Structure 1
Amino acid sequence: MQSRRKLRFRLIVSFALFGFGLSALFAVAALYVRAKVEDQLVVSALQHDVDQAVENKHLHPDLPLKSDLIDAWLWSDRTIYKAPLAWQNLATGVYDMKDADESGRPRHYKLAVSRKYGLIAFVIYDISREDLGKQQLIVSLVGAVLLFSLLSLAIGLWLSRKVLKPVSELANRLREFRKIGKAEPLAPHFADDEVGELAHALDEYSARLTAMVERDREFNSDVSHELRTPLAVIASTTELLQGSPDLTEKLSERLKRIERASRQATELIEALLLLSRAERRGPTRGETTEVGKVAADVIESQRPQMRGKPLTIDLAVNEPVNVNAPASVLSVALTNLIGNAIKYTLEGNVRVEVGSGRIEVIDTGPGIKPEDAERLFQRGVRGEGAGGSGAGLGLAIVRRLCELYGWDVSMRPRSDANGAIASIKFS
């Protein structure tokens, strides 16, 4: 994952590095030019001076040796032994020499040598002052580099604050909208520049998003009203019919099935509306929902699916578990898990266990592959061997409901036998 830095930090660092690099490049170039020019001038001056001294001595042997530079010596091949030992074997040219003077102090000088007409001339050019000047120049350039770097840093701080002030203001206004719960136009508060363009684009996006939310809210309200009304009529009519004295047992059973289906449809509508609004709502009056009781009701509602199957279903409440959620939400989640277990188990047993802050649905069906366990909670994914006309949305709805209430839903194959275990761990 790439490291993310604030735009202001990147601006400051860019200015600081640019100032440092530019001043350092200038310092290196200044040192190079100075060294190059100095070396050319010194070499040229020394060579010209020593050649001129030899020419003058050759043309006027009776005149003393004269040099425009101080410290010059002239020996012949017979008297060269008088020269310092380090000079005696030097050929014509200019040499960079370091030694100690008579008082023992180190000295640095350029030595020009010329061998012509049996004469050997030496001219010394002391460059100690140039070395001192070079050191002073280096110190000055280092100081200039530091000064320009600090100046670039200060300019970067000032510019970043000035350039990013509108962006920070835009971000603050967006945070304020989240606090007050409604969006207000942003563009009038900003100049007609890039930030103003961004604010205008955000206003357009906010308007589209607000319109979409309003349409969704109206649709949810309409659906809630239009679906709940006929379901309420079905429930009340079924209740009245069940009170008839001449009701046969077969007809009573069918009315109970209608009642259960009506109740399940009402619970499903309520759960889906909660998901569409991303609204987490607990039971009324601060009450909690008993998981074992809801599981028992769901099991009874699912028994008609077991007809014609050599299948049994058991409920074991090892310890009471209560959750802060509506019974309708828990009922929708358990209906999908228990209904799937009954659907995929052709024979054997489905066991529902409640305890330790969780509920588990254990079946003896064909089971699932470990790599498919997480994939089954995706929309449109159905288990192997699924029949009927299902759309593969049941487990996806369970996952979304559990995420809304902070529960952990999972599915895994059984390790002791064929089948699968679906579980919800309540927070």
Structure 2
Amino acid sequence: MEFKQGLSQRIVIAFVLMTLLVGGAFSWGIMQAVHVMEERLLSGVLRGDLDRMLLMSNIEDWRHKPEPDQLFYFSSGPDKFALPSYLQDLPQGFQEVFHGKFSYHAFVRQVAGRQYVLLQDQSSFEDREQALYSVVLVGFIVSIGLAMLLGWLLSRKVIEPVVRLAQQVRQRDQLLALAPPLAPDYADVEVGQLAAAFDDTLGLLRHALKREQLFTSDVSHELRTPLMVLASSCELLQANPSLDTRAQAQVQRIGRATDGMRELVQTFLLLAREPAQDSDLSSQRSLGSIADELVQQWREPMESKGLQFFYQRGDVTEQRFNSVFLHSVLGNLLRNAWHYTNSGQITLRLHGQGFVVEDTGVGIAEDERENIFEPFVRGATARGDGLGLGLSLVRRICISQGWRVELSAMQPSGCRFEVNLLGK
């Protein structure tokens, strides 16, 4: 399983882990050192006390010499000095003894065949140890909290150049030819090298984009002349009274195809230019006027195919948009609905944010919807000899204008395309 933490989170985690490792080892070392030192100190004290008592000549002296928290026993000892059974098999030296709910530190010595045992209650020792452990634990927890705070503060400073670089790269102006390089803003270290790599990549992107714009602009410009010839020829043929009804219908079909190509050429020309030039090179129209025009254009082809075409104008926004782009987006979606719907209905509904195009056609499989807006991608139900560029053009226009297009399924079949022109 891959964990996808951000750089700042990784820095904080590194600080916390380092504190856990170093602070844990240091705390464990302190507790062990204090434990060993206290045991050695107690061992020395008990050894000295036992040696002093063994130097005394009679029991009467022993009765008063043990400390209040000490007990003294020896083999064959009288009365309260008698060695209890649980102490008889203890090895010589310092050790811990547990008896019931009591615990003692004991020092055992063998002298002339007798076993002497001096016990000292270790409750005070355990209280001191517990207090020490509590202090160390609190210090350990506080150090972890401080490590998290320090890691968070340092992570903000560490990733600040990276965040600033990311914001600079995201700006659309970076693709312009006159965009300043990024690398001079940073030191020639890790972030500076990353900025230099971005400069190289952005340079390649600018070059590729410029070539695409020049190609699209040149091809679109060259196509305008033959399209004008076709359009004028269609007008002359339509004015010829000698043509029969069938020939007139074919000429009208050629004329509509020519108008569609001229619109497509104009769309490509606008897409090839800089975004700032759009308002200067294209007219602005409302959604309602363009929708009315396209409904009049597409109603007859849809109804002649046996489809019902519903147009719901609704509470349409009066904001004005790029007429060429909006005409191309709505026209492509209506053409797509007409092309893939054999029976049923097509609905165009306008609302305050944009419009919706719904059909009862063959639909698009769920696993194909994510890629259907890519260039040259056609669904499994594709028909005709199209190249799969219509929906790609729709998305490209929407991205350039800040619009949003969404695709969803209709029940029991069909597609629903919603375009939000206000980008909300």
TM-score w.r.t. the length of structure 1 is: 0.68
Residue 306 of structure 2 aligns to a residue whose secondary structure is strand
Residues 115-150 of structure 1, C-alpha deviations (whole Å, 9 max, x = no match): 765756443456576556535644553465356546
Aligned positions of 1:150-165 closer than 5 A: 152-153=147-148, 156=151, 159-165=154-160
Query: In angstroms, what is the RMSD of aligned CA positions?
Result: 5.0
Amino acid at match of 2:243: T
**2:165 — aligned with what?**
170
**2:306 — aligned with what?**
313
Does the CA-based 8 Å contact 1:92-1:113 persist in structure 2? no
**2:30 — aligned with what?**
30
Aligned positions of 1:259-298 closer than 5 A: 259-271=255-267, 284-286=284-286, 288-289=288-289, 291=291, 293-298=293-298
Within the alignment, does 1:248 sit opposite 2:246 as a pair? no
Does the CA-based 8 Å contact 1:177-1:184 persist in structure 2? no
Residue 226 of structure 1 aligns to a residue whose secondary structure is helix
Instruction: Measure, in 2, the Cα distance between the counterparts of 1:23 and 1:95.
Output: 30
Does the CA-based 8 Å contact 2:217-2:272 persist in structure 1? no
Amino acid at match of 2:199: D
Shift of 1:262: 0.9
Aligned positions of 1:1-400 closer than 5 A: 5-39=5-39, 42-43=42-43, 46=46, 50=50, 77=76, 80-83=78-81, 87=84, 90-91=87-88, 93=90, 96=96, 110-112=105-107, 121-125=116-120, 130-131=125-126, 133-135=128-130, 137-138=132-133, 141-142=136-137, 144-145=139-140, 148-149=143-144, 152-153=147-148, 156=151, 159-174=154-169, 183-244=179-240, 247-249=242-244, 252-271=248-267, 284-286=284-286, 288-289=288-289, 291=291, 293-298=293-298, 300=300, 312-317=305-310, 319-320=312-313, 326-341=326-341, 345=342, 351-354=345-348, 358-362=356-360, 374=369, 377=372, 379-383=376-380, 386=383, 389-394=385-390
Residue 179 of structure 2 aligns to a residue whose secondary structure is coil
Residues 57-97 of structure 1, C-alpha deviations (whole Å, 9 max, x = no match): 8xx889977999867857673x522438x957631536757
Larger radius of gyration: 1
Shift of 1:194: 0.9
What runs of 5+ residues in structure 2 fail to find an aligned partner? none
Does the CA-based 8 Å contact 1:47-1:112 persist in structure 2? yes
Change (3 A) 1:146 1:369: closer
Residue 88 of structure 2 aligns to a residue whose secondary structure is coil
Does the CA-based 8 Å contact 2:8-2:155 persist in structure 1? yes
Instruction: Measure, in 2, the Cα distance between the counterparts of 1:263 and 1:92.
Output: 112
Amino acid at match of 1:170: L
Residue 110 of structure 1 aligns to a residue whose secondary structure is strand
What runs of 5+ residues in structure 1 fail to find an aligned partner? 100-106, 304-310
**1:307 — aligned with what?**
none
Does the CA-based 8 Å contact 1:8-1:164 persist in structure 2? yes
Change (3 A) 1:289 1:43: same
Shift of 1:232: 2.0
Instruction: Measure, in 2, the Cα distance between the counterparts of 1:69 and 1:229.
Output: 121
Does the CA-based 8 Å contact 2:332-2:391 persist in structure 1? no
Shift of 1:266: 1.4
Q: Percent identity?
A: 25
Instruction: Measure, in 2, the Cα distance between the counterparts of 1:168 and 1:200.
Output: 16
Does the CA-based 8 Å contact 2:337-2:346 persist in structure 1? no
Instruction: Measure, in 2, the Cα distance between the counterparts of 1:425 and 1:120.
Output: 97
Instruction: Measure, in 2, the Cα distance between the counterparts of 1:296 and 1:256.
Output: 15
Residues 260-304 of structure 1, C-alpha deviations (whole Å, 9 max, x = no match): 22112112334455677797999634463354652442355689x
Does the CA-based 8 Å contact 2:175-2:202 persist in structure 1? no
Shift of 1:162: 4.6
Change (3 A) 1:4 1:149: same
Change (3 A) 1:186 1:157: same
Change (3 A) 1:398 1:265: same
Aligned positions of 1:397-416 closer than 5 A: 405-409=403-407, 415=412
- Count of aligned pairs: 393
Amino acid at match of 2:34: R
